[in-house]
Amino acid sequence: MKKTLLIVIFNFFFLLKSQCNLSSLTLDLLGKEYYEVSNILYSDINISDLKINFFNPAEKKVADYDANFEYLNEKHYKKYIQFNYVLPKCFTNSNQNDYVEYSLKLIDDKVYKVSISKTYSFDEKINLQKDLERLKKMIKEKYPVFNGKDNISYRFNITKENPEGEYIQTGTNEKFSATKLNSNTKIWKVNSCDIITETEYSYGKIGGYSLPAKNLKLQFEFTNLKNTVLDNRGY
């Protein structure tokens, strides 16, 4: 009886994970207008700690920022939205209070970038690896072109005697895009996903970062500049 129950539970959680897709990972926000996003932000009970342009919207409303890109000839405005979301089905659930951090960038009230960050303790390293493998496989179906892998490094051990500190690698960034560009293409509408795996550290007392490490982080950055004024020259 117990064995049968365990099989049923396993199949149930496998089914939940198998329902994950790009729309559920990004909350289907990429390309949405601000009024559509607002309807979700203020009605979804899974959302908390909402900030717009880095302020709690209940405390203070601030104007959007100028999109100061040299190639833009007219005035355009950027908006930033951040919030926490009760852990969606795309990630391994460690506890009931677990959540994922979302960050949105908008130009002229249209979402063109969605960043998704999940923090893991070092005891959860296997969960991170499993989530990474499963989600990367799904992402590569829509973003099949691999554009390389960059190392991420930050400055550590900054002191008065050594103000430059030293650079230590903290993670990697794998870059994927939806289509392959012609080698002669100079300007294009970015449609991509970056997958970042990183170890996080505390800030140093006088700058940079300091040891020991705090936790692990898995991050996905989806960008789509279609139907916006932006392009690869700056966004």
SS3 163: coil
The one-letter amino acid at 72: L
Question: What stretch of H or E contains 177?
Answer: strand 166-177
What is the per-residue burial (b if ≥16 Cβ within 10 Å, else e) of 171-209? bebbbbbeeeeeeeeeeebbbbbbbbbbbebeebeeebb
132, 114, 68, 71: CA torsion to nearest 10: 80
pTM of this prediction? 0.88
CB atoms within 10 A of CB 167: 12
- State the Cα–Cα distance between residues 42 and 209, nearest whole angstrom: 36
Structure tokens at 203: 């800030």
- State the Cα–Cα distance between residues 190 and 178, nearest whole angstrom: 9
Could you list the pLDDT tens digit for every one of the 235 residues in the chain? Answer: 545 444 433 343 444 445 899 999 999 999 999 999 999 999 999 999 999 999 887 666 788 999 999 999 999 999 999 999 997 689 987 676 789 999 999 999 999 999 999 999 999 999 999 999 999 999 999 999 999 999 999 999 999 999 999 999 999 999 999 999 998 999 999 999 999 999 999 999 889 999 999 999 999 999 999 999 999 999 9
